[in-house]
Amino acid sequence: MKVLVVGGGGREHALAWKLGQSPKVSQVFVAPGNAGTATEATNVDIAATDVDGIVAFAKQNEIELTVVGPEAPLVAGMVDALEAAGLRVFGPSAAAAELEGSKVFCKNLLHTADIPTADYRTFRNADDASRFIKDKYSDPNDAVPVVVKADGLAAGKGVIVCETRSDALQAIDRIAGQKEFGAAGNELIIEERLTGQEASVLAITDGETIISLPAAQDHKPAFDGDKGPNTGGMGAYCPTPIVDEAMFEKIESDVLVPVVHAMKRARKPFKGVLYAGLMLTPAGPKVLEFNVRFGDPECQPLLMRLKTDLVDVLIAAADGKLSEIEPLEWDERPSICVVMASEGYPGDYETGREISGLAAAAEVEDVKVFHAGTALVDGKVVNTGGRVLGVTAIGNSISAAKLNAYTAVQKIRWAGAWCRKDISDKALR
């Protein structure tokens, strides 16, 4: 069968790589792909958000399974369009994708379904939000433990963690005043800042059956020790010991099952990947956000460990037959993904810089380098994005996986390349 992966990041490279391992798959296409997917699949020059272009290509090439990677085409209704054309696709409808496409919708749904989350208020303009902060925190020297969030999609950057009143007012101005994230800031949320460790629990569902994947831990802040601005994710590892069996069962029963039921009641049945971003607070796990697709970079270490044929799982979910498949098989060894980024990310950065050392990194045992923001230019691999590579490794322990990953990282070079040095250290503590 022929498979199409929509997207061009590290997640999509990992999906194409894993799907290509299936004996059922004869050819994998990636639209638009990157320099990494070009080496093990066929790149197609169609933008991930070009719904009509993707549908036309899938029909013309008799694609039997389309896997939509990023959130933007899901929110734009790509799944609906493919299904309307009679094509099999894995992912949620536009209505169901609102769970990620609108943080206001998500928070209201969590509140209605009594799913644990932070207290919050929603606002439609900067003036009302600023007035709320000034009234609640009258002393400019007060600590202001809040998080300000843009309602819509902002490539993982529309969440600003605040310490002071001026932080909060500046965040409100960036999101709703200056519209730094565009229309995503037409509404915003101010919520209490939760404390604890973060964890990511992803599940595959067909709207009835839920198959939970091993818990992972992402690293959103840019710099070591969780310092600096939030990013799309600087690395992840899986499984994480901070989610033990009892905690995992609680997350399934208190978060995953209720949200699938709530979406069904809202007449927005959910099919695809349900990603719960969680804060493990002293009062138990609370939802920070929901995503409606594989996390990036969580997807990379998860798929590194998956032994079951991914094609079987995604087809079963797309066809509403998830209850019929056998339990998933996993490599017992942990895995870790270290993101290598462009100088200046998550702010402005320069592109077109040649990357060297990829072949040497690929020779490191138990390592796979997934491309995210890369392209082939005159036969050379260059950076095209902020997050450039996801160096992913597996090992007999988290320490061994970390050593493998950073050994490969040290072999890769381009002007301004950098990464966090502490991915997975929380597990070791």
Domain spanning 197-324 has what CATH number? 3.30.470.20
Domains 2-93 and 335-428 share a fold: no
Q: What do you get for the CA distance between the two ends of the chain, in Å?
A: 45
Written out in words, the top-level CATH class of the domain with range 2-93 is: alpha beta
> What does the chain come to in residues?
429
Please identify which residue in the block is written with the tokens 């002071």. 164
Flag whether pLDDT at 154 surpasses 90: no
What is the pLDDT averaged over residues 262-275? Answer: 96
Report domain extents, the chain: 2-93, 125-186, 197-324, 335-428
DSSP 3-state helix, strand, coil percentages of the chain (rounded to 5)? 35, 30, 40
The CATH superfamily holding the domain 335-428 is Phosphoribosylglycinamide synthetase, C-terminal domain (3.90.600.10)
List pLDDT tens digits, range 107-134. Answer: 999 999 999 999 999 999 999 999 999 9
Cα separations in angstroms, 388 against 357, 404, 419, 420: 14, 19, 10, 13
Contact between 176 and 185 under an 8 Å Cβ cutoff? The reply is yes
The predicted-structure confidence for 84-99, as pLDDT tens digits, reads as follows 999 999 999 999 999 9
The percentage of residues in the chain with a pLDDT greater than 90, rounded to a whole number, is 96
Which tokens belong to 324?
Answer: 């019929």
Q: Mean per-residue pLDDT for 176-191?
A: 94
pLDDT of the residue at 40: 94
